[in-house]
Amino acid sequence: MSSKIGLLLVNLGSPDAPTPAATRRYLAEFLHDRRVIDTSRWIWCPILHGIILRTRPAKSAKAYEKVWNEPEFSNQAVPVKLAPLVRITGAQAQALQEAFGEDVQVEYAMRYGNPSIEAALDALMEKGCMRVGVLPLYPQFAGATTASVFDGISKAIKARMDLPEIRFLRHYYDEPQYIKALSDSLTDHFATLDWKPEAIMASYHGLPQSYVDKGDPYQAECLRTTELLRQEMNVSEDYLFTTFQSRFGPKAWLQPYTDKTLEQMPKKGVKKIAVVMPGFSADCLETLEEIKLEASETFLANGGEKFTAVPCLNTRPDHLNFLKALSEQRLLNGWL
C-alpha cells in the first residue's frame, strides 16, 4: 500500500490568548530557543526569568489585545479566539487542502505555542502520511526562523520509533511567482487609496548584526528580495528601499532601522509613504501593531502626512496558488 502524502505549513506562533499569563508561556518558549538568543545560558537565563518574563508579558499582552480581533481577519475559517497569525495560517492550510483535495493531507503548526509541530505531525501520521513536506512560511532563510523549524521537527520526531520521510524547504524569496504576487498586492492596495505614495519602505524583521557576522544569510536574502521586487515594479532604489524592524535588547541589529528611518523621511521631503513587509507571509503582531499602528504614529508625529501599511499576502488567491505550486515543485515532486 502506497503511503499518503502530507504537507505541513509552519509559522512562528502567538500566545493562546492576549493575557499576561498566556504571553509569558509563549515568550518563555520563544526566548529559550538558542537559535533566537545565542547568549550563554548562564548569562541569559537569569535575565530572562529575573527581568524579561516578569515585565514584558503584560506589555506584550496589551499589544496583542490591540490586534487580536482585527476585523479584516474575523471571517477566516479558523476561530476568532485565536491570534491573527494563527487564524490566517490555518486559513491558508484549509485553502491548500481544498486545492489539493485527497492527493495531499495539509496541516499547519506554530514553531512556538499552538498548534504545535508535534501535534501536527501526529495528525498527519494518524492519517497515514509517511511522506511529509515541511514548508516554513518564511520567504527568507534565517537561523532564528527557518533553521529553528528544522530543530522543531527534529525534536518532535526524536523519540519516535517510526519516522516519516521528510522534505524541508529552505527559502522562496527569489521565486518569480512570489515576487509577482508581492508586486500585484502593492498595485491592488494602492488602487484603494486616494493618494499616491512618494516612497515604499520594505520593512523586514530585524536580526542581531552579530548573527549575520557569524554567517547568517538573512540580510543578503532580504536585500535581494527588495531588489527583485524593484525590478518587477521597474522603480528606483530611492523609491523602494529596505529597512529592519522589531529590534530587541541592547545589541546592534540590522540597519537601517524602520522606526528611525520613518522619523527622518518627512525631513527629507517624503510626506506620503507605504510600508510593505515581504518577510511575513501572514499578518501578525509585528505587522498589525508595530507597523500599522506604531509606525504610522511615528511617521505622522514627525511631519508625515499619509501612511499606509500594505497587508501581507495572507490568503490572496495568487499567494495560495503560489504556495501550492511551490509545494508541488520543490517538496512533493515525485510523490504526487
Nearest to 205 by CA among 233, 243, 157: 243
Q: What is the CA radius of gyration of the chain?
A: 20
Pair 261, 273: CB distance under 8 Å = no
Q: Please tell me whether 205 is known to bind a ligand.
A: yes
For residue 329, with 0-12 CB atoms within 10 Å meaning exposed, 13-18 middle and 19 or more buried, which class applies? Answer: exposed
**Rounded-to-integer distance, Cα 217 and Cα 144, Å:** 11
The enclosing H or E element of 244 equals strand 240-245
Q: Please tell me whether 171 is known to bind a ligand.
A: no
The enclosing H or E element of 227 equals helix 218-233
Cell of 290: 508595530
Cα dihedral 242→243→246→250 (10° resolution): 140
Angle formed at CA 202 by CA 201 and CA 204, multiple of 5 degrees: 130
Sheet holding 240-245: strands in order across?
240-245, 199-205, 272-276, 306-309
**DSSP structure string for 158-206:** TT-SS--EEEE----TT-HHHHHHHHHHHHHHHTT-SS--SEEEEEEE-
Q: Please report, in range form, the residues annotated as the binding site for Fe(2+).
A: 205, 286
Q: Please report, in range form, the residues annotated as the binding site.
A: 205, 286
